[in-house]
């Protein structure tokens, strides 16, 4: 499968990158590690006039601990750097654990945290070659007007399938977005739309520059559990992150978030209320698992059945809660 034709620009600074974004405001695609984008370009899922390869922008790399105990991470920091960061492992272990499960070592050497946050949603009817999609029928997400997964509906249910966003949601992370009209910061939980087609609130002429985790989220115990078909290299088909803080033998704060079972990574509402001020045992962990399973809305977007994926969310959440508590 060949790449479509496009102009390639390789800026060396953020200012240069923003200038180029302004040149083709509606027809540009940011390239970071390229581990997801390049296969998608070959499948003609994107046909931009300009590809902006931002890999040379040194200021967007690195893990920078802040004086107050929080941390700032450049969007181009690779998943291997995240996984190996002693600071992150010590203070934000759920993030290093989630990063270590992405794809394979080679892909983690290339793939970036920003790319993982911005990752396109996935569906059996979408992540296919142009010939396949032409033969089987286009759909709402690209070139068509029907959904093969939920026929009769007008919504795209393609699943968000990045591993690090549930961990970052649990850590109350914010992201910085830069574009021609300036720079803004938003909580990551406000970044996703909940729809599988226009899945993120990012204009084509904007890019994610930094990820900020507040000091108040440091030193939570964290666990990430993931269901995939090939243990050595695969997107999640269900994933759950759990963080909790204990004081005097009881949980004083807890958060749970899911991935790969909805069009957006999703915080499980009220999970904290079940866990707080409790000594965590099997029954409490099971209650949180039930709540997580009710939050998950998997459809037939991947190789495993929705029923199995929802059930695995229940099982993995229970196990992750017990592991984080012990």
Ligand X SMILES: Cc1cc2nc3c(=O)[nH]c(=O)nc-3n(C[C@H](O)[C@H](O)[C@H](O)COP(=O)(O)OP(=O)(O)OC[C@H]3O[C@@H](n4cnc5c(N)ncnc54)[C@H](O)[C@@H]3O)c2cc1C
State the residues that interact with ligand SF4 by CB under 6 A: 123, 125-126, 139-141, 147-149, 156-158, 196, 301
Residue 147 touches which member of ligand X, ligand SF4, none, C-beta under 5-8 Å by kind: ligand SF4
Nearer to ligand SF4 by Cβ, of 76 and 139: the residue is 139
Single out the residue of 248, 259, 235 nearest to residue 320, CA to CA: 259
Shortest gap between Cβ of 45 and ligand SF4 (angstroms)?
A: 10
Q: Pick from ligand SF4, ligand X, none: which does 254 bind, CB < 5 to 8 A by kind?
A: none
Shorter beta-carbon distance to ligand SF4: residue 88 or 147: 147
User: Do residues 221 and 93 touch, judged by C-beta distance below 8 A?
Assistant: yes
Angle of CA points 82, 262, 246, to nearest 5°: 55
H-run or E-run covering 113: helix 113-118
Q: Residue 122 binds which entry of ligand SF4, ligand X, none, with Cβ cut-offs from 5 to 8 Å by kind?
A: none
Interface with ligand X, residue 74, by CB under 6 A: no
One of 17, 20, 33, 92 touching ligand X (CB under 6 A) = 33
Helices 282-295 & 306-325, crossing angle to 10 degrees?
140
Pairwise CA distance, residues 259 & 142, whole Å: 22
Burial of 42 (0-12, 13-18, 19+ CB in 10 A): middle
Q: At closest approach, how far in Å is the CB of 230 from ligand X?
A: 9
- The answer to whether 320 and 221 have CB atoms below 8 angstroms apart is no
Does 176 bind ligand X (CB under 6 A)? Our answer is: no
How far apart are the C-alpha atoms of 244 and 252, rounded to whole Å?
8
Of ligand X, ligand SF4, none, which one sits near residue 158, judging by CB under 5 to 8 A according to partner kind?
Answer: ligand SF4
Task: Residue 99: name its binding partner from ligand X, ligand SF4, none (Cβ under 5 to 8 Å by kind).
Answer: none
Question: What is the C-alpha to C-alpha distance for residues 318 and 287, in angstroms, rounded to an integer?
Answer: 8
Q: Considering the rule CB under 6 A, would residue 32 count as an interface residue with ligand X?
A: yes
**222 near ligand X (CB under 6 A):** no
Q: Which residue number, 127 or 205, has a Cβ lying nearer to ligand SF4? A: 127
Minimum CB separation from ligand X for residue 76, in Å? 7
Q: Can residue 115 be called a binding residue for ligand X (CB under 6 A)?
A: yes
- Of 56, 63, 100, the C-alpha closest to 79 is 100
Give the H or E element holding residue 242.
strand 238-247
CA dihedral angle for residue 297, residue 302, residue 305, residue 306, rounded to 10 degrees: 0
Q: Is 275 in the site for ligand X (CB under 6 A)?
A: no
- For residues 180 to 219, the per-residue mask of contacts with ligand X, x marking binding by CB under 6 A and - elsewhere, is ---------------------------xx-----------
Least distance from ligand X to the Cβ atom of residue 263, Å: 15
Q: Does 112 bind ligand X (CB under 6 A)?
A: yes
Those residues whose C-beta lies under 8 Å from the C-beta of residue 28, and which sit 6 or more positions away, are: 20, 21, 48, 49, 50, 51, 52, 204, 205
Measure the CA–CA gap between 272 and 289, rounded to whole angstroms: 12
Neighbours of 301 (CB within 10 A): 28
Name the segment binding ligand X (CB under 6 A); options: 184-192, 228-236, 268-276, 311-319: 228-236
Is the Cβ of residue 29 or residue 43 nearer to ligand X in the bound state? Answer: 29
Residue nearest to ligand X (CB): 115
- Contact residues for ligand X, defined by CB under 6 A: 29-37, 39, 75, 79, 102-103, 107, 110-112, 114-116, 118-120, 162-163, 207-208, 233-236
């Amino acid at each position: 499968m060949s790449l479509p034709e496009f102009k390639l620009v390789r800026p060396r600074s953020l200012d240069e990158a923003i200038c180029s974004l302004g040149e083709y405001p509606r027809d540009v695609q940011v390239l970071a590690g390229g581990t997801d984008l390049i296969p998608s370009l070959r499948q003609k899922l994107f046909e931009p006039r300009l590809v902006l390869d931002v890999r040379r922008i040194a200021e967007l790399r690195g893990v920078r601990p802040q004086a107050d105990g929080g941390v700032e991470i450049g969007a181009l920091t690779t998943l291997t750097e995240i996984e190996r960061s002693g600071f992150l492992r010590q203070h934000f272990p759920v993030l290093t654990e989630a990063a270590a499960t992405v794809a394979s070592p080679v892909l983690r050497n290339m793939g970036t945290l920003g790319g993982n946050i911005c990752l396109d949603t996935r569906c059996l009817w979408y992540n296919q070659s142009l010939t396949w999609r032409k033969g089987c029928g286009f759909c709402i997400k690209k070139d068509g007007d029907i959904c093969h997964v939920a026929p009769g509906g007008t919504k795209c249910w393609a699943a968000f399938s990045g591993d690090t966003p549930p961990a970052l949601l649990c850590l109350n992370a914010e992201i910085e977005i830069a574009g021609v009209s300036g720079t803004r910061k938003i909580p990551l939980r406000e970044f996703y739309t909940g729809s599988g087609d226009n899945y993120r609130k990012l204009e084509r002429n904007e890019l994610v520059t930094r990820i900020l985790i507040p000091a108040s989220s440091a030193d939570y115990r964290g666990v990430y559990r993931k269901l995939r078909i090939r243990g050595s290299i695969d997107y999640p088909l269900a994933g759950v992150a759990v963080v909790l803080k204990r004081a005097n033998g009881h949980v004083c704060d807890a958060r749970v978030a899911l991935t790969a079972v909805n069009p957006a990574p999703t915080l499980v509402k009220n999970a904290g209320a079940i866990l707080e001020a409790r000594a965590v045992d099997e029954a409490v962990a099971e209650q949180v698992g039930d709540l997580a399973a009710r939050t998950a809305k998997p459809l037939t977007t991947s190789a495993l059945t929705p029923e199995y994926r929802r059930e695995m969310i229940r099982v993995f959440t229970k196990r992750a809660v017990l592991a984080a508590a012990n």
